[in-house]
Amino acid sequence: MDNQMHFEYNVEGGNFTRAGYASSQIKKILKQLNVDIAIIKRTVVATYEAEVNVVAHAYSGTIYVDIDTEAVKIRLVDEGPGIPDIDQAMEEGYSTASSQVREMGFGAGMGLPNMKKNADKLEISSEVDKGTTVEITMFLNEKG
Amino acid sequence: MTVADVVKKLDLKVFSGEKGLDRQVTGGYVSDLLSDVMGNADSGQIWITLQTHKNVMAIASLKDLAAVILVTDHKPEANTAEQSNEEGIPVLGTSLDTFEITGKLYDLING
Ligand SMILES: Nc1ncnc2c1ncn2[C@@H]1O[C@H](COP(=O)(O)OP(=O)(O)OP(=O)(O)O)[C@@H](O)[C@H]1O
Ligand SMILES: [Mg+2]
């Protein structure tokens, strides 16, 4: 891993059949790079939850992945309704998911708490009626 | 214990993912909430659920689960079975309800 690597994936709002596709691609890349399995597992949880949130709550989004020797940075930028109160959204059990989405077993309000638990660093910014940006950082060596 | 052993002992139906029947089983996890499974299940576990849609396989694959058991005669949707075959993660079925099959699987693994 001498160079920096960059990958991008599109995420379609509402398309649950493709949900998790980008996360599985990212998992494959990290495996090929021989990243520590414990780090891959945490990255997968955080990335999947962020990806599904774009599918479930936003209209469309792009995932930007940057990998260097120190860290994996995964930035999800979506166009969507945004999150009016991020602290409230972070609370376990808080969800605005539609009943249709809940029937599928989403909407437990556990996604953001899962991201918080598994990411080394989690940054969320959001603008109502514009969209949300989530940045997940995973450190590859000693925690920075 | 392999998935095939569990299939035989608990008399399960194999819907798809046959090539994963030799996967090792380390335990089980029971939930119909996907974020719960994402956050708390562990690799090698068998996931017991009534969810039949494709996202079940996305999670099973991302978490490296051993297999999925659908309860009370639920059947996988077509694209769920398709992905199960691609990933080699078996989707299994039982007519028992969640309580009953969980008890049996628990006894089998921990008994
Ligand atoms: N990308 C996003 N755009 C708009 N709103 C979001 C976004 N991500 C999260 N939210 C809001 O934050 C709430 C909590 O998110 P969280 O992921 O914790 O739970 P959930 O997605 O509702 O359910 P679960 O993740 O358990 O399936 C969501 O219900 C939604 O209101
Ligand atoms: Mg969520």
CATH, residue B92: 3.40.1390.20
- C-alpha B73/C-alpha B39 separation (Å) is 27
Give residue A144's pLDDT.
Answer: 45
Does any ligand 1 atom lie closer than 6 A to the CB of residue A53? yes
Q: Please name which of B38, B37, B7 lies closest in space to residue B20, comparing C-alpha atoms.
A: B7
Does any ligand 1 atom lie closer than 6 A to the CB of residue A122? no
Q: How many domains are there within chain A?
A: 1
Per-residue confidence at B111, pLDDT binned at 50, 70, 90? confident
Is A16 domain-assigned?
yes
Give residue A143's pLDDT.
Answer: 52
AA identity, residue B101: I
Is A41 domain-assigned?
yes
Q: What percent of chain B has pLDDT over 90?
A: 99
pLDDT, average across residues B28-37: 98
AA identity, residue A92: E
Q: pLDDT tens for residues A117-141?
A: 999 999 999 999 999 999 999 999 8
Residues of chain B with Cβ-Cβ distance to A41 below 8 Å are 43
Whether the predicted pLDDT of A2 surpasses 80: no
Is A85 domain-assigned?
yes
Q: How many domains are there within chain B?
A: 1
What pTM, to 2 d.p., does this model score?
0.96
Is A10 domain-assigned?
yes
Per-residue confidence at A1, pLDDT binned at 50, 70, 90? low
Ligand nearest to the CA of A82: 1
pLDDT, average across residues A65-71: 97
Q: pLDDT tens for residues A77-133?
A: 999 999 999 999 999 999 999 999 999 999 999 999 999 999 999 999 999 999 999
Is A144 domain-assigned?
no
- Average per-residue pLDDT for chain A: 96
H or E element at residue A62: strand A60-67
- C-alpha B38/C-alpha B24 separation (Å) is 20
DSSP for B28-97 reads EEE-S-HHHHHHH--TTEEEEES--STHHHHHHHHTT-SEEEE-TT----HHHHHHHHHHT--EEE-SS-
Planar angle of CA A16, A21, A27, nearest 5 degrees: 145
Whether the predicted pLDDT of B19 surpasses 50: yes
How many A/B residue pairs have CB atoms within 8 Å? 63
Is A30 domain-assigned?
yes
Give residue A3's pLDDT.
Answer: 77
- C-alpha A81/C-alpha A89 separation (Å) is 13
Per-residue confidence at A25, pLDDT binned at 50, 70, 90? very high
Is A58 domain-assigned?
yes
pLDDT, average across residues A47-67: 98
Q: pLDDT tens for residues B51-70?
A: 999 999 999 999 999 999 99
Q: What percent of chain A has pLDDT over 90?
A: 95
Query: What 8-state DSSP symbol labels residue A84?
Result: S
CATH, residue A11: 3.30.565.10
Q: Please name which of A22, A122, A24, A134 lies closest in space to residue A78, comparing C-alpha atoms.
A: A134
Surface-to-core class of residue A39, CB atoms within 10 Å of its CB (0-12 exposed, 13-18 middle, 19+ buried): middle
H or E element at residue A64: strand A60-67
Is A70 domain-assigned?
yes
Give residue B96's pLDDT.
Answer: 98
Domain extent for A57: 4-139
Q: How far is B63 from chain A (nearest CA, A)?
A: 7
Q: pLDDT tens for residues B71-100?
A: 999 999 999 999 999 999 999 999 999 999
Are B59 and A45 inside 8 Å of each other by CB?
no
Residues of chain B with Cβ-Cβ distance to A118 below 8 Å are 39
